[in-house]
Amino acid sequence: METSREGMRTLWASLVVLGLTTAVQVVIVVLSGSVALLGDTVHNAADALTAVPLGIAFLLGRRAANRRYTYGYGRAEDLAGIVIVATIAASAALTAWMAVDRLLHPRDITHLWAVCGAALAGFAGNEWVARLRIRTGRRIGSAALVADGLHARTDGFTSLAVLLGAAGAALGWRAADPVVGLLITVAILLVLANAAREVFRRLMDSVDPALVDAAEAALRGVPGVLDVGQVRMRWIGHALRAEADIVVDPDLTVVRAHALAVAAEHALIHAVPRLTAATVHTDHAPAPGTDPHTLLSHHVHPPALRTGA
């Protein structure tokens, strides 16, 4: 709950800063006609608006689990990541279209000093937002918020690129502005690739292998655990859930085996950052030549389909 509140505070702050930056840039775009600045403004506006789906996801994530959504609503954050990726793709397409149109229909830009000032304002606003989002996202374990922060950081560098377009225009090169617009498009596409990769990994339940290593080490350190079987983890929003198999002495009572499973879960929660719950399954050490899971073997390894003669 507290992590969602922290995420919401970050989103509100970034929305205000990027909203003010975009408003300043819109005024300068109208005065100057700079297509590079227009592309940067569109990208900044899109970046600001990504706070909306993320905010909705954080609010949904606060809702308690129920009989339909038994794991809660944390995965709404992953859906917000898809919206963010789509928004980045749309801003890249729009920026490219405007730059090509200006190359085919060149026109002079005016108020170059104002364009430079707007570019610097865009860089400052985006870099501040990037640091805030990345810091908060890493602290609360939100991949979508970190991706959005990296998106804002690239927006800042594209804002600086607008300065190159203004410099070229000041030297009489009319194509400088749309060429920079195309360079901004390339930068947006690079951000798109990185953001899409992060969202894809989260949707596919990818986790850092180092977290699995930490979980296995923690389980092996619990007194009474003879061996560790399979360990599985997945992100649900910005919280981790885990499932683990441990091997215990076959002579333990049910009560003692359960207590050992609880101790193992407790060790996992302390060893793995942002892990909120774990389901620990106990297996007894089998006698030589026996398999305690014989009844399940045909489900885990289904027999091959037979073909007709």
Three-class HEC string of 63-112? CCCCCCCCCCCCCHHHHHHHHHHHHHHHHHHHHHHHHHHHHHCCCCCCCH
Q: For residue 122, which of 15, 23, 51, 13 has the smallest C-alpha distance?
A: 23
Same domain? For 53 and 192 the reply is yes
Name the helix (H) or strand (E) containing 181: helix 176-203
Cα 245-288-249 angle, rounded to 5 deg: 45
Q: Tell me: pLDDT of 41 over 90.
A: no
Q: Tell me: pLDDT of 145 over 60.
A: yes
- Separation of alpha carbons 119 and 156, rounded Å: 9
CA distances from 243 to 216, 225, 265, 279 (A): 11, 15, 9, 5
Same domain? For 246 and 148 the reply is no
Same domain? For 152 and 287 the reply is no
pLDDT of residue 143: 73
Sign of CA dihedral 40, 45, 48, 51: negative
pLDDT band at 301 (very low <50, low <70, confident <90, very high): low
pLDDT band at 224 (very low <50, low <70, confident <90, very high): very high
The encoded tokens of residue 144 equal: 């979508």
- Separation of alpha carbons 304 and 94, rounded Å: 52
Same domain? For 228 and 242 the reply is yes
- Separation of alpha carbons 31 and 276, rounded Å: 53
Residue finishing a domain among 153, 170, 203: 203
Q: Tell me: pLDDT of 307 over 60.
A: no
Mean pLDDT of the residues in the chain = 83
Is residue 198 a contact partner of residue 143, using CB atoms and an 8 Å limit? yes
Sign of CA dihedral 264, 270, 272, 273: positive
Listed range (35-44, 219-228, 251-260) with the worst mean pLDDT: 35-44
Sheet with 239-248, edge to edge strand ranges: 227-236, 239-248, 275-284
Q: For residue 165, which of 150, 157, 175 has the smallest C-alpha distance?
A: 175
Q: Are strands 275-284 and 239-248 parallel, antiparallel or unpaired?
A: parallel
* Structural domain span for residue 96: 2-203
pLDDT in tens, 154-205: 778 778 777 777 778 777 777 877 787 788 788 888 888 888 888 899 889 9
Same domain? For 129 and 232 the reply is no
pLDDT in tens, 28-38: 888 887 777 77
CATH code: domain of residue 154: 1.20.1510.10
Same domain? For 39 and 165 the reply is yes
pLDDT of residue 284: 84
The encoded tokens of residue 55 equal: 């905010």
pLDDT of residue 300: 63
pLDDT band at 1 (very low <50, low <70, confident <90, very high): low
Is residue 189 a contact partner of residue 92, using CB atoms and an 8 Å limit? yes
Same domain? For 186 and 225 the reply is no
Residue 306 lies in a domain: no
Q: Tell me: pLDDT of 207 over 70.
A: yes
Q: 306: phi > 0 → left, psi -120 to 50 → alpha, else beta; which?
A: beta
Same domain? For 261 and 295 the reply is yes
Give me the amino acid identity at 283.
D
Domain count, the chain: 2
Residue finishing a domain among 203, 234, 265: 203
pLDDT of residue 304: 47
Q: For residue 149, which of 305, 289, 2, 14 has the smallest C-alpha distance?
A: 14
| Averaged pLDDT for residues 49-57 | 83
Residue 307 lies in a domain: no
Residue 220 lies in a domain: yes
Beta bridge partners of 279: 243
Share of the chain above pLDDT 70, in %: 90
First to last CA, the chain: 61
CATH code: domain of residue 274: 3.30.70.1350
Is residue 245 a contact partner of residue 225, using CB atoms and an 8 Å limit? no
Q: For residue 48, which of 133, 136, 113 has the smallest C-alpha distance?
A: 133
pLDDT in tens, 77-128: 888 888 888 888 887 887 788 778 878 877 776 777 888 888 888 889 889 9
Which has the higher per-residue pLDDT, 273 or 176? 273
- Separation of alpha carbons 275 and 244, rounded Å: 13
Same domain? For 170 and 243 the reply is no
Residue finishing a domain among 203, 232, 250: 203
